[in-house]
Structure 1
Amino acid sequence: MSTALLSASQSSNLDLHGRMSLGMRHSWAVLDLVSGFKLWRLALTLGWLDIRLRYRGSMLGPFWLTISTGVMVGSLGFLYSALFKIDVAGYLPFLALSQVLWGYLAAIVSEACAAFTESEAIIRSVRMPFTVFSIRVLVRNVIALAHNIAVIVVVFAVFRIVPGWEAFLALPGMLIWAIDSIALTLIFGAFCARFRDIQPIVNSVMQIAYFMTPVMWKPEQLGPARERFLALNPFYDLLEIVRGPILNSPISHATWVGALGSSALLCLVSWAFFVRARGRITFWV
């Protein structure tokens, strides 16, 4: 009987120790997140420095990306409007906005995979919150997005499209994008630091998602019977909550529910993985 009581006591102590260690990991992860946001000026500087180094020696700097995006939008706009038999005036603004927004989503997913490995020297030499590197990726992609907004402005000006006050409803969607971007960098940055062959797989999946998401084609082209299957594509909901208000297109409650649900799931999975992997990232990079 005493043996049974001892065994039960040891089991209870082990469970308590496990819960305490998990609680400690949560505490350290929260501290990392809070400390990272307190160093937002450093993250902003690093993100701006990334942009400057990326286009160092270039005459136009990041505006080369703007020009290439504009040329692609113009070429695809006239081509696919002829193929889909759609009026250019109705299709080109949709394509310009969709292409610029998708460019941000694709870039943030791809660069999230290297969020920690590209900062290997800093991580190994300086004790710094990992959240700083997540914000760094977010900052440089927001800067690139800001440059590409010029394409949208030019296309809207050519076709005399003026977004109404409904365009401000895109701000909550952009906030969701920012939160999702941090979550993506935390989970993909840590996961790809451990498994280096994941990034090519992620890029391939994003290439497929590009064609499966209404970026070059409009949702209504699927027809009422097939359009409901877009609810299975989380990128559609995330894209629509920002694109719809700017195009004065009403957003359904189902779209908001889908976007919030997928974002909540992403944040939960990201946090669970970051809590467990945070202490090992230094050894993985």
Structure 2
Amino acid sequence: MLFLALADLKQSVASWRLWTLLGWLEIRQRYARSRVGPFWLTISMGVMITSLGVVYGTLFGQNMHDYLPFLASSLVVWSLFSQTILEGSVAYINSGPYIRQVSTPKLIYMLQVVWRNLIVMLHNFLIIIVLLLIFGVKDWETLPIFIPALLLYVLNALWIAMVVGLLSARFRDLPQIVGALMQVAFYVTPVIFRPNALNRFTFIVEWNPLAYLIEIVRAPLIGQMPSPLAWLVAIGMAVIGWTIALLLTGRYLKRIPYWV
């Protein structure tokens, strides 16, 4: 089972021209005949960051000089994570016609989802760059850590998308459940509030693996070094999660065309 999944993953990665092209074309089709194009995503994210920054920054009594870069970094990387999982849950279902008619590696549809959302993140990342230029970079030494942290972050998002995508192909009610769970995860993960803001309920953050996962990508951008515990949790999630995802994929890979 594991070897079957690894073979499919290898073939999918080797077909990078296909899934990168499909991901890019989907974004272009979504904003066809629009002068601004995909940058509408950046505008929408910028409006959200400004609105939430003013409202929650005022409610929490935050210094906007520090809070806006924190909020922007959190929302941009969280959007990458959540959208990868949400779109991954319906990736096989939406690609049903291709899966039934063309013999292709199945995981290319998951890689297509990741690639598409990475493109969206790059558009939204302009907001973080602007805020860092306005408020200044806190520590240049931490910025290079963002690259390996982002890779580990994406690997965790990908294995979750693989699992929920496979299960959603079999159980069609699951995408709605995944959407509801991601909404709950957003509110209990330190995205719009700082991890130390929950005085009496710190266990919500301490026992939330997503809090550590988002820390490794957010911290370098705001001039902080991710804690060793955050790295340990993120790496542990990737190792355990990929093992489970590959085992499930290998076991049910041949059933996907019948499910979709």
Fold match by TM threshold 0.5:
yes
Within the candidate set 215, 235, 238, 1:260 is matched to 235
Residue 41 (structure 2) pairs with residue 65 (structure 1): yes
Contact 2:169 2:256 in 1 (8 A): yes
Q: Partner of 1:161: helix, strand, or coil?
A: coil
Which one of 87, 92, 102 corresponds to residue 111 of structure 1? 87
* Distance in 1 of aligned mates of 2:244 and 2:2: 14
Shift of residue 68, structure 1, vs aligned partner: 0.8
- 1:269 corresponds to which residue? 244
C-alpha deviations, 1:191-246, integer Å up to 9, x for none?
Answer: 101111001111111101111011111112123x6435523111111100011111
Deviation at 1:162, TM superposition (A): 5.4
1:65 & 1:186 partners in 2: Cα distance?
A: 25
Q: Is the 8 A contact 2:5 2:247 kept in 1?
A: no
Higher deviation after alignment, 202-211 or 150-159: 150-159
**Aligned match of 2:109:** 133
- Deviation at 1:26? 3.0
> Which one scores higher on RCO, CA 8 angstroms, separation ≥ 6?
2
1:164 deviates by 0.6
Aligned partner of 2:119 in structure 1 is 143
Asked whether the equivalents of residues 26 and 275 of structure 1 are also in contact (C-alpha less than 8 Å), the reply is yes
Could you give the per-residue CA deviations for residues 65-90 of structure 1, whole angstroms, max 9, x where no partner exists? 11011011111111111111111111
State whether structure 2 residue 205 is matched by structure 1 residue 230: yes
CA contact (8 A) 2:2 2:246 kept: no
Contact 1:114 1:189 in 2 (8 A): yes
SS at match of 1:59: coil
CA contact (8 A) 2:74 2:192 kept: yes
Query: When the two structures are superposed, what TM-score results if normalisation uses the length of structure 2?
Result: 0.95
Task: Confirm or deny: 8 A CA contact 2:20 2:112 kept in the other structure.
Answer: yes
Specify the alignment match of 1:100 in structure 2. 76
What letter corresponds to residue 213 of structure 2 in structure 1? Answer: L
Q: 1:193 touches 1:281 (CA, 8 Å); kept in 2? A: yes
Q: Distance in 1 between matches of 2:198 and 2:225?
A: 18
* Aligned ranges 1:17-28 → 2 under 5 Å: 25-28=1-4
Aligned length: 260
User: Which deviates more, 105-114 or 252-261?
Assistant: 252-261
Other-structure match for 1:3:
none
